[in-house]
């Protein structure tokens, strides 16, 4: 896990160094650049899998952010001995070119140069961010928007999930290279729940790391991950006396993991002090985004302080299994369409924010529910099994019943910004600072930092 940046055009090496400086929080373990003609790739490294420095080069060149979970199988087929997923990826691209991208099982964003062409690729769900911009003769890309802003690039775009952008001689084309497969519809709840449990168990297992953490709210999604990864430390964040703080203590006890729980009760002063850092990290002062990002920012900060570099999150479960209240009024066809649309937009709406909030503290966020096999099972599962007799996430609850107590299985969902007490705290801070009216929080946050 790390941060990547690159540029094509005059003075690209110095520009890339400036971009890397803007995202150095993503990679405290080293940095490097590599130039090929007027194209420069850069990387700041957070060591997770192997300790190979980047960019890698030998004919072509690669800078990469993410985790390839099947890298050992890839390396074995290529007769390569390595403990580094970046090295396995590089050898695959050198041997098979970018056409080999569909072979990857993981969450990734990378840039690869070969024969004067620059290829940018992003994973199918968009778990790892990648942004790009073109300004006259200069083309640039980076893991975070702020890196592009650091070199005065305007009109910044996100590379679409599952897409590859190829830049050459001042022009670029973008095309889809990976996607989620569809298959035979699953309508039997016993078949669906068993397959789903097995897929989620496998997804959590492949994302485990020692030491590991879970962003824990005590709800269905994070409780299932915690139960499947009992050696992980659980980090819960909320305002003093908030629903999340009270419930996480109870949930951890029900799971037999009370000794793993790190519950941080925030004060208004802590929240106020962190607001500029969070706005700067997620490059937004939108009240909803800030209120959701703040708990994750504090949880990852605490995990980092304890020497943890990997945190698991329940992100994606709501969009796959109909967790939001707004889904309840939809018929089966409408529900299926809404879920597909929300999955397509999850990178922009949630994943980019969460990545920025956790990586501000050099903690890699992993999302088991967005594992390829889990997503494809969810897409095959009949919508009637997702909301059943008015119960949202019905099939996920059935799957989780194998390992969770009923008291956690059927707990009603509360939006994180409200259950943590953060949104209410922001409103009080806005009023304390003289802001009134319907847009009080938005105006208060906008004035806290010009980013």
**Residue numbers annotated as active site:** 2
Neighbour tally for 60: CB within 10 Å: 18
DSSP string, 200-241: HHHHHHHH--SS-EEE--SSHHHHHHHHH-TTSEEEEEEETT
Angle at which helices 352-359 and 268-282 cross, to 10°? 120
User: Closest Cα to residue 128, out of 301, 359, 416?
Assistant: 359
- Looking at residue 350, the DSSP 8-state letter turns out to be I
**What DSSP element (H or E) covers 41?**
strand 39-45
What CA–CA distance (Å, rounded) separates 99 from 56?
19
**What DSSP element (H or E) covers 23?**
none
What CA–CA distance (Å, rounded) separates 295 from 262?
13
Cβ neighbours for 275, distance < 8 A, ≥ 6 positions apart: 290, 294, 445, 448, 449
Q: Are strands 31-36 and 2-8 parallel, antiparallel or unpaired?
A: unpaired
Neighbour tally for 253: CB within 10 Å: 12
């Amino acid at each position: 896990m790390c941060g990547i940046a690159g540029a094509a055009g005059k003075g690209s090496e110095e520009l890339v160094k400036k971009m890397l400086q803007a995202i150095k929080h993503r990679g405290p373990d080293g940095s490097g650049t590599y130039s090929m003609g007027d194209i420069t790739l850069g990387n700041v490294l957070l060591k997770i899998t192997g300790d190979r420095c980047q960019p890698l080069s030998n004919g072509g060149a690669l800078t990469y952010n993410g985790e390839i979970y099947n890298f050992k199988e890839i390396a074995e087929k290529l007769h390569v001995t390595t403990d580094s997923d970046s090295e396995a990826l590089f050898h695959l691209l050198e041997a098979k070119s970018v056409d080999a991208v569909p072979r990857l099982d993981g969450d990734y964003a990378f840039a690869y140069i070969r024969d004067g062409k620059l290829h940018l690729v992003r994973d199918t769900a968009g778990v790892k961010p990648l942004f790009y911009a073109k300004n006259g003769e200069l083309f640039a890309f980076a893991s975070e928007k702020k890196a592009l802003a650091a070199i005065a690039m305007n009109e910044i775009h996100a590379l679409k999930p599952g897409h590859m952008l190829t830049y050459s001689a001042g022009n670029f084309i973008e095309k889809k290279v990976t996607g989620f497969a569809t298959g035979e519809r699953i309508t039997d709840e016993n078949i669906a729940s068993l397959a789903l449990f097995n897929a989620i168990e496998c997804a959590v297992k492949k994302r485990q790391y020692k030491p590991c953490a879970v962003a824990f709210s005590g709800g269905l999604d994070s409780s299932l991950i915690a139960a499947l990864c009992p050696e992980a430390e659980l980090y819960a964040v909320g305002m003093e006396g908030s629903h999340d703080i009270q419930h996480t203590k109870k949930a951890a006890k029900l799971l037999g993991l009370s000794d793993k729980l790190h519950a941080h009760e925030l004060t208004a002063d802590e929240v106020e002090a962190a607001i500029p850092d969070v706005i700067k990290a997620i490059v937004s002062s939108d009240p909803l985004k800030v209120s959701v990002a703040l708990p994750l920012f504090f949880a990852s900060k605490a995990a980092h302080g304890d020497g943890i570099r990997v945190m698991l999150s329940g992100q994606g479960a709501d969009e796959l299994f109909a967790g939001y209240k707004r889904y309840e009024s939809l018929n089966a066809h409408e529900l299926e369409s809404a879920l597909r649309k929300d999955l397509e937009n999850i990178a922009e709406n949630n994943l980019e924010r969460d990545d920025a909030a956790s990586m501000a503290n050099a903690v890699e966020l992993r999302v088991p529910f967005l594992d390829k096999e889990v997503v494809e099972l969810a897409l095959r599962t009949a919508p009637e099994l997702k909301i059943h007799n008015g119960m949202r996430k019905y099939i996920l609850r059935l799957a989780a019943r194998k390992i969770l107590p009923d008291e956690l299985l059927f707990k009603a969902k509360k939006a994180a910004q409200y259950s943590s007490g953060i949104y209410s705290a922001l409103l009080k801070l806005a009023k304390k600072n003289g802001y009134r009216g319907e847009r009080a929080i938005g105006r208060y946050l906008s004035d806290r930092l010009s980013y």
